[in-house]
């Protein structure tokens, strides 16, 4: 999920100049271009994640490295108790490292669908290669100042969602909201984008708030503190050994 957002934002930003020439482009092409641009890039980011539940609240500070959609490395910097906990995702496999017990553990299916670090994002969100244009049929409509992109999964797509919708601002071409619907048409979760800021020359929303609508009192807020794109990350980042490296 994180990755996807990053990629979408990034690709939108890059695509921005060229988009102005294609004011009436087909929505599928738009989505496709997002996917494609998305794949070839890399990023390093510092972010904060605030998790709110009816029983507890936490704020994590993390640093993340990504290449395309395949490789992700996230390391938790604070709070102190969880400092050093790291997650590595390569292709379809995922591992966690726990410094307290000094063990690298491959994530089994039972943990996959569980939430990542207690947030409203699942491990699965992180792992799955979401190529929206290949997996969804997209159509676009205009609502006031915004576009509404409606994505319906194709027949073979493995997903629980019946529909995903984006509300994208026509001028900035930045998403304002992403909603997930079940097949009966009920909205199950919503992501709201806000606080547009400049990151290394690119404008993108710094804050994403994920709210599950079927669980009251739950919310996860991700805030990007810093982000750099298209940097050469080297070969050592996405290795199991790196999980255990001192930093």
Partner 1 sequence: MLIIKLAFRNILRNRRRSLLTLLSMGGGFFLLCLTLSMSEGSYSNIINIFTQDHTGHVQIHKENYLERPSLYKTINHADEIITQLEQQTLVLGVAPRIYSPSLAYGKNKTFPAQVVGIDPEREAKTTRLENKVNEGLYLTRSRHKAGYFPAMIGFSLAKNLQLSVGDELVLISQGIDGSIANDIFNVVAIVGDASSYERMNVYISLTAIREFLSMASDTRKVHELALILSNQNQAREFAATTQSALKNESLSVDPWQVVESSFYKSMQADKKGSYVSMGIIIFIVSIGVLNTILMGTMERTREFGVLKAIGTRPLAVFTLIMLESFVLAIISCLLGLVLSLPVCFWLAGVGLSMPEPIDMGGITFDTMLGEVSWFVVLLPSIVVISSTLIVSFIPAIRAAKISPLKALQAV
Partner 2 sequence: MAIQTPESSNASKLDNTASSATFNKPNSTYNHSSQNTLIARLAKRSIFRNTRRTLLTVLLISCSLAAILFTDAFVRGMVETMVKISTQTFLGEGQIHRFGFREANDIDLYIEDTTALYQQLNATKAIQAFAPRVLTGAMTSSSENVASAIVYGVDAAKEAKVSKLKLAVTQGDYLSGIDGEIIIGEQLADLLEISLGDRVVITVSEANGGVLSQALFRVSGLFSFNERSMDIGMAFINLSQGQQLLNITGVHEVALRLQHLQQAADNTLPFWQTLNNDHIETLSWQELVPQLSSMLAMTKYSTLIVSIIMYVLVCLGLINTMFMSIFERQTEFGILLAIGTRSKQLFYQIMLEGFFIGLLSVTVGLLMAFVLCYWGSIVGIDYSELEMSGLTLNEPIYLILDASSFAIMGIATLVVTLIASVYPAFHAARLQPSFAMRKTL
Question: Which one of partner 1, partner 2, none is in contact with 169 (Cβ closer than 5 to 8 A by kind)?
Answer: none
Q: Candidates 37-45, 74-82, 177-185, 207-215 — which segment interacts with partner 1 by CB under 8 A?
A: 74-82
Does 141 sit near partner 2 (CB under 8 A)?
Answer: no
Instruction: Select the binding partner of residue 24 from partner 2, partner 1, none (C-beta < 5 to 8 A, by kind).
Output: none
Q: Would you count residue 118 as binding partner 2 (CB under 8 A)?
A: no
SS3 content of the chain, % helix, strand, coil (to 5): 20, 45, 30
Q: How far is CA 37 from the centre of its chain?
A: 15
Minimum Å distance from CB 119 to partner 1? Answer: 8
Of residues 40, 78, 113, 143, which one binds partner 2 by CB under 8 A?
113
Q: Is 93 in the site for partner 2 (CB under 8 A)?
A: yes
Please, which residue, 58 or 187, has the CB nearer to partner 1? Answer: 58
> CA–CA separation, 180 vs 160, rounded Å?
10
Query: What is the Cα gyration radius of the chain?
Result: 18
Q: Per CB under 8 A, does 172 bind partner 2?
A: no
Residues in region 87-146 near partner 1 by CB under 8 A: 96, 98, 100-101, 103, 105-106, 108, 110-111, 114, 117-118
- Give the orientation angle of helix 2-19 with respect to helix 27-39, to 10 degrees: 120
Q: How far is the CB of 82 from partner 1 (least distance, A)?
A: 6
95 binds, among partner 1, partner 2, none (CB under 5 to 8 A by kind): none
At residue 183, φ and ψ (nearest 5 deg) are -70, -20
CA atoms of 120 and 49, how far apart (whole Å): 11
Q: Which of residues 205-244 bind partner 2 (CB under 8 A)?
A: 214
170 binds, among partner 1, partner 2, none (CB under 5 to 8 A by kind): none
Among 42, 50, 53, 182, binds partner 1 (CB under 8 A): 53
Residues 6+ apart with CB under 8 A from 130: 4, 69
Q: Cis bond leading into 96, ω under 30°?
A: no
CB-based contact 232:218 (threshold 8 Å) = no
Q: Which residue has the tokens 């994640």?
A: 49
Using the rule CB under 8 A, is 103 a contact of partner 2? no
Round to whole Å and give the CA distance between 218 and 19: 37
* Residue 183: contacted member of partner 1, partner 2, none (CB under 5 to 8 Å, by partner type): partner 2
């Amino acid at each position: 999920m994180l990755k996807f957002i990053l990629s979408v934002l990034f690709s939108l930003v890059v695509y921005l100049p060229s988009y102005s020439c294609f004011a009436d482009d087909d929505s599928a092409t738009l989505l496709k271009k997002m996917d494609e641009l998305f794949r070839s890039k890399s990023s390093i980011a510092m972010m904060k994640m605030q998790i709110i539940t009816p029983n507890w609240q936490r704020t994590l500070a993390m640093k993340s490295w990504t290449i395309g959609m395949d490789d992700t490395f996230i390391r938790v910097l604070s709070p102190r108790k969880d400092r050093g906990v790291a997650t590595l995702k390569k292709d379809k496999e995922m591992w966690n490292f726990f410094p307290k017990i000094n063990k690298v553990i491959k994530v089994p299916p039972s943990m996959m669908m569980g939430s990542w670090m207690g947030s409203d994002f699942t491990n699965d969100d992180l792992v799955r290669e979401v190529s929206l244009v290949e997996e969804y049929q997209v159509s676009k409509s205009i609502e006031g100042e915004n576009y509404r992109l409606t994505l319906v999964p194709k027949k073979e797509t493995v997903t629980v969602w019946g529909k995903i919708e984006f509300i994208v601002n026509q001028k900035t071409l930045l998403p304002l909201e992403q909603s997930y619907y079940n097949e009966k048409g009920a909205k199950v979760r919503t992501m709201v984008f806000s606080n547009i800021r400049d990151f290394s020359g690119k404008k993108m929303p710094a804050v994403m708030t994920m709210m599950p609508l079927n669980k009251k009192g739950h919310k996860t807020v991700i805030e990007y503190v810093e982000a750099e794109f298209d940097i050469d990350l080297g070969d050592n980042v996405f290795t199991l050994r790196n999980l255990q490296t001192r930093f």
